[in-house]
Copies of this chain bind each other. A is one copy, B any other.
Amino acid sequence: MHKIYSPDKNTWPALLQRPTQTVADIEGVVLDVFNEVKNQGDSAISAYTQKFDKVILDTIVVSAQEIDEAKNVVNSDLKEAIRLAKSNIEIFHSAQKTAKVSVETSNGVACWQEKRPIQKVGLYIPGGTAPLFSTILMLAVPATIAGCSEIVLCTPPNAEGKINPAILYTAELCGVTKIYKVGGIQAIAGMTFGTETIPQVYKIFGPGNQFVTVAKQLATKFGVAIDMPAGPSELLVVADDTADAAFIASDLLSQAEHGKDSQVLLVSTSKEMIELVEKEVDKQCASLPRKEIATAAIANSKLIYVENDEEALALINEYGPEHFIVCVADEDFYVDNITNAGSVFIGNYTPESAGDYASGTNHTLPTNGYAKQYSGVHLDSFMKAMTFQKISAVGIQQIGQAIELMAEAEGLQAHKNAVTLRLDSLK
């Protein structure tokens, strides 16, 4: 791992750079798939499923029977674990409900804000080696609490045309209304335009590879919203001498095993801790099944020594980590002053993997420095804040003249007229 001691502030931008991604060159492929799916619907979906997933399906709709079979296949310990996680995620996201905000801004001028669900949402769950049923919990649970009436899930079939049972079990448990065996760019295109089979949705959520990421970006040009721009996963740990080096190394590695482009950083005011963590990483990494991936990610990663907590905080806020673990004596300093982080894990018994699965917080979080301006997925991600106003005769007499003056100053006479007519009717 790279070790950096007391880096000068001028070097921070270079030091904190994420592993670069090249996106431009895959835009052409994505646009082609979008055009085909838009124009040819299901038949384009079938063709791309055959091409990319190497399977020909009679139907892309998952049947009730397949779901029943999945329920029997998933072992009961895992089911219980999933139900515990679901319960915690429900508790935390239900608590995020906001009441109607209602005020009388001037006498006779009632204004209120209400949040209403996005009616149709689409969830994308990648296939591949790891069946990410945990992401279904993170998306379908808040969608259900929000009251979304249509919750569609797309996930790629394997070479036998099947979906991992844990995915089907979790999807049904969490209130997904329809499951389709479609993956990759064609899944995002299908939910963007709708096909004979796949419904068009208003907002698409979920992780994916670079192709899916670019497809989601493109979807926004066709009137669909997305949860957030996605990038490789990342973790930053701040630790002093009170931390446990083995725990920290395990956290760094849990992030590093996600992908070769993952990035993990340790920031510490203790040179000893940096040495200890480095040794522990080497030791623990050797026995991981995904050792090769983790080793590559560790090569992108840095151990950074800084002189004091103020310097550490400034550097962390500059980076804006997706996951931020705080293992220091003075936790409050970091917790109170962190401005840019997706989710914060505090203390020696709060591994990042707790938030990935079962603490109750959401694991769909802003990467790539987006913690500076984006929230992670939360209940409001599935709702829209709408405003309402009702003005009485008294109310328009209170604020009407101000509107007339402002509309006139902006050169918008018809805006003024709409008030003048009403004021005149009350004379």
Which residues of A does B touch, CB under 8 Å?
77-78, 80-82, 84-85, 87-89, 91-92, 95-96, 98, 101-103, 105-106, 109, 111, 113, 116-119, 129-134, 166, 202-203, 217, 220-221, 223-225, 229, 244, 246-247, 250-251, 253-254, 256-258, 284, 288-290, 294, 335, 338-362, 366, 368-376, 378, 380, 384-393, 395-396, 399, 401-403, 405-407, 409-419, 421-422, 425
Give Cα A102–Cα B284 distance, bound, in whole angstroms. 35
- Residues in B neighbouring A341, C-beta threshold 8 A: 386
Alpha-carbon distance A58/B139, docked complex (angstroms): 52
Alpha-carbon distance between A224 and B129 when the two chains are bound, in angstroms: 33
- Name the residue in A251, A395, A414 with the highest tally of chain B Cβ atoms < 10 Å from its Cβ: A414
> Quick check: B256 and A359 within 8 Å, CB to CB?
no
What residues on B are CB-neighbors of A101 within 8 Å? 92, 95-96
Q: Do A250 and B414 touch (CB < 8 A)?
A: yes
- State the majority secondary structure of interface residues on A: mixed
Contact indicator B391/A387 (Cβ below 8 Å): no
CA A204 to CA B80, docked complex, whole Å: 45
Q: Is the CB of B407 within 8 A of A357?
A: yes
Copies of this protein, total = 2
Q: Are B96 and A399 in contact (CB under 8 A)?
A: no
Some 21 contacts from A to B, beta carbons below 8 A apart, are A84-B402, A88-B109, A88-B111, A91-B105, A92-B111, A111-B361, A134-B410, A220-B229, A224-B373, A225-B370, A254-B414, A254-B417, A288-B413, A335-B388, A349-B391, A351-B403, A353-B403, A353-B418, A354-B419, A357-B407, A375-B384
Partner of A402, one of B130, B349, B357: B357
Besides the known contacts A78-B405, A84-B402, A361-B388, 13 further A-B residue pairs in the complex with CB atoms under 8 A apart: A82-B406, A91-B103, A95-B101, A202-B373, A220-B229, A288-B413, A288-B417, A289-B411, A290-B413, A349-B393, A353-B403, A353-B412, A358-B403
- A368 to chain B: which residues have CB within 8 Å? 223
A342 and B388 in contact (CB under 8 A), knowing A103-B92, A290-B413?
Answer: no
Task: Say yes or no: B257 contacts A409, CB within 8 Å.
Answer: no
Q: Are A119 and B290 in contact (CB under 8 A)?
A: no
Given contacts A343-B388, A405-B77, contact A395 B353 (CB under 8 A): no
Decide if A387 touches B361 in the complex (CB within 8 Å): yes
* A370 contacts across to B, CB distance below 8 A: 223, 225
| Contact in complex: A111, B359 (CB < 8 Å) | yes
Query: Could you tell me if A103 and B95 are in contact, using CB atoms closer than 8 angstroms?
Result: yes
**A376 engages B380 (CB within 8 Å):** no
List, in ascending order, chain B residues with CB within 8 A of A348's CB. 422
Alpha-carbon gap, A115 to B240, bound state (A):
27
Known: A85-B406, A395-B349, A411-B129. A389 touches B359 (CB 8 A): yes
